[in-house]
Chain A
Amino acid sequence: MFDPDHSYPYRRVGDHSDITTNRKHVEHLTIYQFNTELYPYLIEVERYPYQIYVFKFYRRIHKRNKQRFNLLTNEGKCSRIIGTCFNIFLTIFQRNPLASFGFLGSHTIDRSKNIVENKSETRRFVVYRQAVQNYFGIETFTHFEDKETSIYLSISNQNKDVHDIADKATIIINQLIEE
C-alpha cells in the first residue's frame, strides 16, 4: 500500500519558473502526468521557499475545475497514486536532501450525495498523514501538522533549524489562507 514500487509510470509535462500569477510564494512548478487503468491524472509539484515541495493531484479532465482537489474519482486507486507522489518526491530528495514534503488534505465536495466536508482534519488529510508516517521516519524528517487546515509538512532534518522553517512556513500558510 502506498508503495512507490507500485507507482504508476509518470512523465514530466510542464516546468514553470517564476510563477507569479495566482500562485503566491511558489518558486517553481513542475507538472507530471500518469495514467491509471481508467483515467489520466496530473500531479502538480510546487516548490516554495526553504525547499518545501507541495504535492497536489487531480484527474486531468478536471484541470480547469475550481474544485478539482475536492472531487472524488471513486476509482479506488488512492494508494498507487500516493505511491506515485512518493516516488517523485524520492527522486527530488535524492537530488536535494534539504527538500521537505508537504500537502493539504482537501475537503471533499460531492454535490450528488450532498456531502461538503469540514476543512479541519479531512479524510484525505488522515489518509495521507498515515501514508507519510508509514514511509518517512523521524530520523530523516521532523513532522508538523495543522489539523485545523489539514496541512502537513515533513521537514528534512538535514536543514539547520527545522523549527525555524516550520515557523516561516506558518507565515506563508497564513498569507495563503487569508487570500
Chain B
Amino acid sequence: MRKMGKLIAPFNQKKDVCESIATVRLASKPKGSLSKITASEIKARRVSAYRYLLP
C-alpha cells in the first residue's frame, strides 16, 4: 500500500514552491493598485503648521 507521505513534497521543495508563488504574486501586482496610506504615515509626513481646509 502506498504511503500518503510519498505524495507530499519534502520540506525544502515545498518552501521553494511557496517562495516562487510569493515572488509571482509580488511581481504581478497590477500597476495603478491603490494602497491606503495609514494615519500614522500621514501624521508623520504632515507639516502641522498648516491649518486644515477640511480636517
Contacts and interface: CB of A to CB of B under 8 A. Distances in A.
Contact of B53 (A4, A130, A153, A169): A4
A24 to B, nearest CB: 14
Contacts of A148: 31-32
Contact of B52 (A1, A130, A135): A135
Dominant SS among interface residues on chain B:
loop
Interface in A108-150: 130, 133-146, 148-149
A144 B55 CA distance: 17
B54 interface: yes
Given A134-B50, A137-B54, A139-B55, A170 B39 contact: no
Contacts of B31: 146, 148-149, 173-174, 177
Nearest to B52: A137
30 contacts: A2-B50, A3-B50, A4-B53, A134-B46, A134-B47, A135-B50, A135-B53, A135-B54, A136-B54, A137-B52, A137-B55, A138-B42, A139-B54, A139-B55, A140-B55, A143-B37, A144-B34, A144-B35, A145-B37, A148-B31, A148-B32, A151-B34, A153-B34, A163-B36, A166-B36, A170-B34, A174-B30, A174-B31, A176-B32, A177-B32
Interface of B: 30-37, 39, 42, 45-47, 50, 52-55
